[in-house]
Chain A
């Protein structure tokens, strides 16, 4: 069964450093998403991506965040200058159609020190 994969599983970084979180969505999916989950809280939408551009973003997704699909398989989330409050699990998800089933990856735990 195809799965969404994410690397690394855990990233530790110093405040102010840049991080890039990587995702490989399911191959025949067209819609890609990033979500964040602070420990013990609900999942929060960050951004959706379709046809090589951002289709929607939340208020959390400020100028420090960017997404890219650098090739036909990877989908990345970059945080330019990390803050302590960026510490969270970051989940990538993908789907075949908009506002339809989304399949999540296992997540990357980001710890900002």
Chain B
């Protein structure tokens, strides 16, 4: 199946710092979704992207659909303690018909 690699694998940052993470694939994707998951809960949709180059914001979160269609980026500005969780990218490849999830980026915010 498709592999979506996320980096970094984990981040420890101070409250107030900005965060950047990315998700890359070896093939072209048509859709990118970003989710946040907290322990014992289901993934919560943050941002959906459907077009190459698309830049979409949701509050302090901004995500971009890479122009090569093989990657996507998520930025969080001015992080706060409740940003703690695991962030997953998910996408549908242009030759596929299911969502593949990335390996996740674990974010820890130190107050």
A residues at B contact (CB < 8 Å): 4, 33, 35, 42-45, 48, 55-56, 58-59, 91, 99-107
* B101 sits at the interface (CB 8 A): yes
B30, B40, B99, B100 pick with most chain A CB within 10 angstroms: B99
B residues at A contact (CB < 8 Å): 1, 30-31, 33, 35, 40-45, 48, 88, 90, 92, 97-104
Cβ-defined contact, A42 with B97, below 8 A:
no
Nearest CB in chain B: distance from A64 CB, A? 19
Given A42, A99, A106, which contacts B42 in the complex, CB threshold below 8 Å?
A106
Nearest CB in chain B: distance from A60 CB, A? 10
A sample of 5 cross-chain residue pairs with beta-carbon separation below 8 angstroms, ordered by A number, consists of A33-B99, A43-B90, A59-B1, A104-B43, A106-B41
Given contacts A91-B43, A107-B41, contact A42 B92 (CB under 8 A): no
User: In the bound complex, how far is the Cα of B31 from the Cα of A102, in angstroms?
Assistant: 12
User: In the bound complex, how far is the Cα of B100 from the Cα of A43, in angstroms?
Assistant: 8
User: In the bound complex, how far is the Cα of B41 from the Cα of A107, in angstroms?
Assistant: 7
Given A45, A55, A59, which contacts B99 in the complex, CB threshold below 8 Å?
A45
Cβ-defined contact, B98 with A58, below 8 A:
yes
Closest residue of chain A to B41, judged by CB? A106
Question: Which residues of the partner chain B approach A105 to less than 8 Å between Cβ atoms?
Answer: 42
Question: Which residues of the partner chain B approach A58 to less than 8 Å between Cβ atoms?
Answer: 1, 98
Cβ-defined contact, B92 with A102, below 8 A:
no
Question: Which residues of the partner chain A approach B33 to less than 8 Å between Cβ atoms?
Answer: 101-102
User: In the bound complex, how far is the Cα of B33 from the Cα of A43, in angstroms?
Assistant: 13
